[in-house]
Amino acid sequence: MKRRRRLKVPALDLFPFLSIFLCIMGILAFLETLMATASGKASKIEIKPGKFLQQATPYQIFCLPDGLVILPPVSEIKALAATLKSPKDRQRVTAIAEKRDKVLAGYNPHERHKGRLLSDEEISALLEEMVEINNIAKNNDSLYEETLLFGIYPAGSAHFHNFRRVMYDTRFEGLKKGYEILDSDWQFVIPSAAGQTAEGAL
C-alpha cells in the first residue's frame, strides 16, 4: 500500500513586506523633517511631569546658554489659595501668586528670551518658597505639590549645574525633580496667570 506524500506548504516570508514598510516609514519621517525645516517653524515644548510626578505641579526652569528662564505656576496656586482654611496661609499664598504674576508678565512671547543669572541667594529663596507652599498645602490637607522640572538646552548645562549645587542642600531634599534635554531649535511654552499658554522663542 502506497503512502500518500504530504504536500509541503512553503512558509510565508514577511521580510520583503517588512522591508518595504520600514522604507516607507523612513521616507515619510524624512519628508516631515524636511517640511518642518523648510517652513522655518521650530518645535514647541512644554515640560510636563512624568508618571512618577503626575500629581505634582511643575515649576519650569529652562537652562539657556546665557542663563535661566523661570516659569513658576501661578493659576495653580491661586486655585490653592481659594481652598485654604487659614486666612494667614491664604494671604501668604496669594502674595506669592501676585509676585509670580509679575515674573510671567515680564516675558514677551514675540521676543527672544534672555536667560537670567541667578545668585545662590536667589536660587535658595526660590526653593524656600516652593518648600513653604508645599508645607502650607500639606498642613491644609491639600494634595497640591510643586516640583522642579528643568528643560536643558545645549550649552545651558553650566547654569543647570550651578542651580543643582544649591538645590541639593539638605533643606530642599524633599523637593521632587525632573529633567528634559532639549534641542536648540525647540521653543518653550510660557504659561500665563490665567492658565493660557504662549510660545516662547529662543
Q: Is residue 65 part of a domain?
A: yes
What pLDDT, on a 0 to 100 scale, did the predictor assign at position 110?
A: 56
Number of domains in the chain: 1
DSSP 143: -
Write the Ramachandran bin of 195: left for phi over 0, alpha for psi from -120 to 50, otherwise beta. Answer: left
SS percent in the chain: helix, strand, coil, step 5: 45, 20, 35
Predicted confidence band at 180 (pLDDT cuts at 50, 70, 90)?
confident
Please report which confidence band the pLDDT of residue 201 belongs to, taking 50, 70 and 90 as the band edges. very low
Average pLDDT, the chain: 78
Threshold 0.75, pTM exceeds: no
Looking at residue 34, what is its pLDDT?
A: 54
What average pLDDT does range 177-188 have in this prediction?
A: 81
Amino acid at 58: P
Residue with cell 520583503: 16
Q: How far is CA 122 from CA 5, 70, 73, 129, in A?
A: 86, 12, 17, 11
Q: Is residue 22 part of a domain?
A: no
Q: Is residue 99 part of a domain?
A: yes
Look at residue 92 and tell me whether its pLDDT is greater than 90: yes
Q: What is the mean pLDDT of residues 132-140?
A: 95
Instruction: Answer whether residue 102 is part of any domain.
Output: yes
Q: Count of CB atoms within 10 A of residue 94's CB? A: 16
In a domain, 165, yes or no: yes
- Give the model confidence (pLDDT) of 37-77 as tens digits: 444 454 555 554 444 445 689 999 999 888 999 999 999 99
**29, part of any domain:** no
Query: Is residue 169 in some structural domain?
Result: yes
> Which residues span the domain enclosing 185?
45-200
Q: Which helix H or strand E contains 190, and what residues bound it?
A: strand 187-191
Higher-scoring residue by pLDDT: 3, 161:
161
Whether 161 maps to a domain, the answer reads: yes
Instruction: Give the mean pLDDT of 138-143.
Output: 92
